[in-house]
Amino acid sequence: MSAPDRRLALETTINGRPVSLRAVPEALLLDVLRDDLGLTGSKRSCEVQVCGACTVLLDGRPVSACSVLAYEMRGRQVLTVEGLAAGDRLHPVQEAFLAAAAFQCGYCTPGMIMAVKALLDETPAATPAEVREYLRGNICRCTGYLAILEAVSAAQRAAAPPA
């Protein structure tokens, strides 16, 4: 006798592609992304919604994949760092992080980039104070943040060149 299949059938869209998958009710979004789908860009770190390393976008809004149930994906759009580039062309926020060398060890970078994308999609002209406030929830232990803030500002300039 095998145990009954407790898995839920979930229809979702991940990085623009429709996906049907099965996951137990208690599965966390981060586990499904990393372990079942091989999307390891989102990082596991604090596990308590403080550090931001696992930031992904759910219907465009940033969430901690480590603390959201995979069940919440159903019928929604999930965007991970793997879904940002268009073919070989990096997303402008990724380009800006590269150009400013806004990372050292790089562990926080995918979450940081996803948070910046969420912010700039919604508030393209965010002020430096708004950027700092928004990124308060994404921790970087290497850079001291200045290069990251420079990258955000460069991404803003690239999207809307001064007249």
Binding site for other proteins (CB under 8 A): 6, 8, 24-26, 28, 47-50, 52, 55, 58, 61-64, 67-69, 71-72, 115, 118-119, 134, 136-138
**Comparison of 5 and 88: residue with beta carbon closer to other proteins:** 5
**According to DSSP H, which parts of the chain are helical?**
29-31, 92-99, 109-122, 128-134, 146-159
- Report how far residue 39's alpha carbon sits from residue 47's, in angstroms, rounded to the nearest whole number: 18
The distance of closest approach from Cβ of residue 124 to other proteins in the complex, given in angstroms and rounded to an integer, is: 16
**Comparison of 11 and 89: residue with beta carbon closer to other proteins:** 11
The distance of closest approach from Cβ of residue 77 to other proteins in the complex, given in angstroms and rounded to an integer, is: 13
**Comparison of 101 and 122: residue with beta carbon closer to other proteins:** 122
**Comparison of 76 and 90: residue with beta carbon closer to other proteins:** 76
The distance of closest approach from Cβ of residue 25 to other proteins in the complex, given in angstroms and rounded to an integer, is: 5
Name the residue among 161, 75, 149 with its Cα closest to residue 112: 149
Cβ atoms of 53 and 107 closer than 8 Å: yes
Two structure tokens written together for 116: 């910046």
- Report how far residue 68's alpha carbon sits from residue 124's, in angstroms, rounded to the nearest whole number: 27
